[in-house]
Amino acid sequence: MVKRSNSKIVDLIGFPMDLGADRRGVDMGPSALRIAGLTEKLETLGYKIIDEGDISIEIREKQSIKNPKLKYLEEILKTSKLLAQKVERSLTQNHFPLCIGGDHSMGIGTIAGISSFCRKNKLELGVIWIDAHADMNTDKTTPSGNIHGMPLAASLGLGNKKLVDFYGFSPKVKPENCVLIGVRSIDEFEKRNIKQLNLSVYTMADVDKLGIHRIIARVLKQFQEKVDHIHVSFDLDSVDPTLAPGVGTPVPGGLSFRESHLLMESIAECGCMSSLEVTEVNPILDDKNKSAVFAAELVASSMGQRIL
């Protein structure tokens, strides 16, 4: 059963990573979310926010690509280790880690830190991955070499040994304890990886057929019976680009305003989320920071903000 911490102390951890993607600007995501009033929204809900600032990441202009199938691997691994340590320390202190990015390669570090904490405390980890993309590529299947397309595969034990064995163990999460929601852009080889692991995937077609409330209710019921710690990894590109244009890889046909909020409100009502990350906010591609404002509102919904 889920043993969610009732801690009202949130550790805000910025991870301004843009090495996992080709498009620039996502490294300013943490700043955009802060400017959007993320801290103030959560303080209004009664949380104490400890802003730990941003992890320092070397800009790509000072680096070279050693392997075009794993671009900037060494810097991503180095900084992901710092992120994993921060997240694990936060959980050890009975705080709630809220990680803000940055491209989705940050999931390598967040999930490693959470999984390490769970292993040491004999807790079962469950991951809800909300994303337009599956992020299930490996160095053998990637069409781009961008590591932000690999974090879930690596966390599940697929891919390059350095990514898979990162932080000293593998897999970080069991396939049966991982669910993808909102997916609508999957590479052909990713489909094979998904089928190989028999992952639970709710595409946007499933959202259309079943409704987002039925899907998240089913997932949360399943998880409450099987896992102790639920981590939510929310990629803003899961939302339709008309609502959130400021993302690195927008895909039409995403979650609507109300679907997004209902999804996060349902997670809050469950009272079972123990960690959260928000990724792929790109203010360079945005319109007056509207995407970051929307993302901040979604975080607030996931942590208890209600209409009435």
Residues with catalytic function:
104, 131, 133, 135, 148, 235, 237, 280
Q: Would you tell me how many other CB atoms lie within 10 Å of the CB of residue 127?
A: 27
Q: How far apart are CA 220 and CA 238, in angstroms?
A: 19
- Which phi and psi angles does 201 have, rounded to 5°? -130, 125
Residue with tokens 């966390």: 155
Q: How far apart are CA 168 and CA 295, in angstroms?
A: 32
- Which phi and psi angles does 230 have, rounded to 5°? -105, 125
The helix or strand, by DSSP H or E, that contains position 266, with its residue range, turns out to be helix 257-270
Q: If phi over 0 gives left and psi between -120 and 50 gives alpha, with beta otherwise, what is residue 122? A: left
Number of H helices, E strands in the chain: 11, 8
Using omega within 30 degrees of 0 as the cis cutoff, is the peptide bond preceding 102 cis?
Answer: yes
- Contact predicate 235/280, CB 8 Å: yes
Q: What's 146's DSSP letter? A: -
